[in-house]
Amino acid sequence: MQRYQSYILGEWVDGEGVETKLYNAITGEQFGETSSAGFDYAAILEYGRRTGGTQLRKMTFQERGRMLKALALHLMSLKKKYYEVSAWSGATKVDSWIDIEGGIGNLFANASLRRQFPDLPYYVDGTMAPLSKEGTFIGHHIMTPKQGVAVHINAFNFPIWGMLEKIAVNLMAGVPAVVKPSEYTCYLTEVMVRDIIASGILPEGSLQLICGLGRGIIDHVDLEDTVTFTGSAHTGKDLKGLPHITERSVAFNLEADSLNASVLGEKATPDTEEFALFVKEVTKEITVKAGQKCTAVRRIIVPENLLEDVQAAISKRLSTTIIGDPSQEGVRMGALATRTQVDRVRESVELLAKSQEMVFGDLDNFEVVGADKDKGAFFSPILFRNSDPFNKVDVHNVEAFGPVSTIMPYKNLDEAVELARMGKGSLVSSIVTPDDKEARDYVVGAASMHGRILVLNKDCAKESTGHGSPMPLLTHGGPGRAGGGEEMGGKRGILHYLQRTAIQGHPTTITEITQQFQVGAAMPEANPHVFRKHFEELVVGETVYTHKHTVTESDIVNFANVSGDNFYAHMDETSLDGTIFEGRVAHGYFLLSKAAGLFVDPKKGPVLLNYGIDEARFTKPVYPGATIGVRFTVKEKIDQEKRSEDDIAKGIVKFLVDIYDETGETCGMATILTMVRKIDQSS
C-alpha cells in the first residue's frame, strides 16, 4: 500500500496512523493512504517564515520570475507522469490537461510579470506625491514582501492547478507557502511536489506540503501570514471567523463554490451561430471534470420562447456523452473524485428535484463503459427544468457539485440579470449573444454580483477560453456566496502578498530608497557621458547637462516639411486668435527630436539601442527665439537575463529627458528606454 507523505521542515515524513484511505475513482480499489496527525504546525510555519522567507525576500522580482520560469519548464518536461496519476481521480485527458498544463501555465504567466516589476526585492507603487511648496519634502509608496507564510487550503477538484495558481503568486511576491491539498486527491500533488523539491529550483523552506487532514494548520498563523481557502462556503466562513484570525488581522482569502449562470441573449435565436455556441458551451461545462469545477454552469438562463429549443438541444448533446473509464475509446466523461462526492451530489440532486423537474438523466440507470458503475464514483449528467425560477428558489441556493445544471426562462433582459443576481454572488457568469448592446446591458447590470463575465459570440469563439476557465492575468474570485476573495489577477494578485507603506522625505532620500529618480533629488553631473557607461556603472540620478539650442522659425518650417505636420498653430500665425498661443509655436515632437540631438553621444559605446518613449508631455509653448537645453538623468535600471549563451548581456535603463527653456522652466518631459551592454558578459 503506497504511503503518501508530507514535505515539512526540510524532509519527507509520515503522519501518525491512517487519516485517509485513497481510492481509484474508476475501479474503486484502494491504492494508498496518508496522514498528517502529530505534526507541529507552529514549527512548520516558523520554518517557512525563517528559512524560505528569508531567502525569497533577498531575491529581486527578476530573479523570482526567472525561478518560476525554470520551474515551469522543468515540470512541463515531466508532465507525462502527472497525466498517469491524474487518471486515478476519474479525470479524462482533457480534464487532466486543465489541471496539469493549466497549472504550469500559471507559473509561466506569473514569471512573465517580472517585466512589470523593478529589479529590486520590493515594489515601488504609483507616483511621487508633492508635500511641500519648495519640493524638498515628498511622499511615495513602497510595497515589501510580508514576512509571513502563505497557507493554502485547496479543494479536491484541482490538485495541481489549485496549488500552482496560488504558489506562483506568493513566490513571485517573495513569500513562502505551506500547501494543504484535499486529502482525497493529495496523491497527485505529492507526486509533483517531490519533483519540485528534487529539482532544487526553489529555495529550501519556500514550499512545504501537508498530505492528510491538516487539522491545526491555521491554529498558529500570525499577523503577517496569509490564509487562502478554496472549498465550501460553510467551511470557509467558519475558518475565516476563528477568533485568532480576526484578532490578529490575518489576511484570509476565501474562494467558494458558487451558482454560476450562463445567459442566452434574446437575439441568439436557433438560426444563429451563437445559439449553437451556447448549447456547446453549457454542455461542456456540465461534463468537463464531471461538473466538479467551481466555475461550472449551474443555472442556464434562456428566453422563455426558446426554452423548449434549448432543452432539446442540450439534452441531445448530453445523450451522446459516453461515461466511463477515460482510457477507453470514446469516453468523454469520467468519474467524480470519490464515492463520498457521489453521495453528496446525490443528496443535492434529490433536494433540487423537490422543486423542479428532471428532464435529462437518471440517478440509478445509466451506462458506464469499461468500469463497474457500483464500484467507481460515476454519476449521470442531470438537467433540471425550473419554469418558475422567481418562486421556486432552491436552484438559487443549492449547488450540486457535479454534472448537474438547471434551465430556466426569462421574459426580458432585466429578468435575466435579476435571475443571475439571485445566485447571491458568483465566480463567473456568461452571456452568449450576437448583439453587443445586449451584451453591454447584461454586463453592466450583472457585474457587481460576479467576479468575471464572459461575453461569447461567433467573432471570438475560435479563441475563447470558455466560461469555466479562469486566466492567470485576470482576477479569479467573486462577491457574496463566492467568498468575496480574489486570486490571480496578474500583477494585482502579487500585490496581495506585499505590504504597502507610505514613505516621506527629501527627494534625494526617496530616490535612494526607491531606486527611481524623483524630481527635486540631487543630480550629480555624469562624467563621462552616460552613453559611455556600461549598465553596472550607471547610477540612478546622475545627469548629463547638454549644450543649448535657440529655436528658430526655420526649425519649425523644416520640421513641418520633414514630418508633414502642418497644424495651424505651427504654420499659420493668422489663425491664432482665440487660442492659447501668442505666436507660431514649435512642434512638441521637434523639441523631443532636438533633445535627442542634444543628449545623444553618437560614438559607438555600451548603449545598444533606444527602443521607446514613455510618458511624453509638452508642458509649455516654445516660440522662436527661445533657448532650450536638456537635463538627461538616469531614472531607473532593470536587469535583463540572457536569452541564450550567445546573447549579449544587457539591462534596460530608463532615462528622464527634461527639456527646459532659458528661464529654467520645464517645457517638455519624456522617459527614454534603452538597452545597455553589461561589462560582465557572463551574467
Q: What's the distance, Cα to Cα, between the start and end of the chain in Å?
A: 48
Please give the Cα distance from 300 to 286 (Å, whole number): 11
- CA angle, residues 195, 197, 203, in degrees to nearest 5: 145
What 3-state class would DSSP assign to 342? helix
Q: Quickly list H helices, 447-572.
A: 491-495, 507-514, 553-563, 568-571
- Those residues whose C-beta lies under 8 Å from the C-beta of residue 674, and which sit 6 or more positions away, are 607, 608, 609, 610, 611, 652, 653, 654, 655
Residues in the chain: 683
Please give the Cα distance from 48 to 53 (Å, whole number): 6
Q: What are phi and psi of 361, to 5 degrees?
A: 100, 165
Task: Please give the single-letter amino acid code of residue 180.
Answer: K
Q: Quick count: other Cβ atoms within 10 Å of Cβ 462?
A: 6
What 3-state class would DSSP assign to 610? strand
Please give the Cα distance from 598 to 62 (Å, whole number): 33
- Those residues whose C-beta lies under 8 Å from the C-beta of residue 634, and which sit 6 or more positions away, are 517, 526, 530, 538, 539, 540, 541, 542, 543, 653, 654, 655, 656
Closest among 83, 230, 80, 240 to 157, alpha carbons compared = 230
Please give the Cα distance from 238 to 212 (Å, whole number): 20
The position carrying cell 467558494 is 256
Number of alpha carbons in the 13 Å side-chain half-sphere of residue 123: 24
Q: Quickly list H helices, 29-86.
A: 41-47, 54-58, 61-77, 79-86
Strand partners, 671: 614, 656
**DSSP type of residue 241:** T
**DSSP type of residue 30:** E
The position carrying cell 508532465 is 79
Is 294 considered catalytic here?
yes
Which entry of 186, 211, 294, 667 is annotated as an active-site residue? 294
- CA angle, residues 265, 269, 273, in degrees to nearest 5: 90
Q: What are phi and psi of 239, to 5 degrees?
A: -70, -45
CA dihedral 410, 416, 419, 424 (to 10 degrees): 170
Strand partners, 254: 229
Is 255 considered catalytic here?
yes
Number of alpha carbons in the 13 Å side-chain half-sphere of residue 636: 18
Q: Quickly list H helices, 88-160.
A: 93-112
Q: Quickly list H helices, 501-613.
A: 507-514, 553-563, 568-571, 588-599
Which entry of 255, 281, 285, 487 is annotated as an active-site residue? 255
Closest among 331, 330, 345, 279 to 309, alpha carbons compared = 279
The position carrying cell 435565436 is 269
Q: Which positions are catalytic?
A: 255, 294
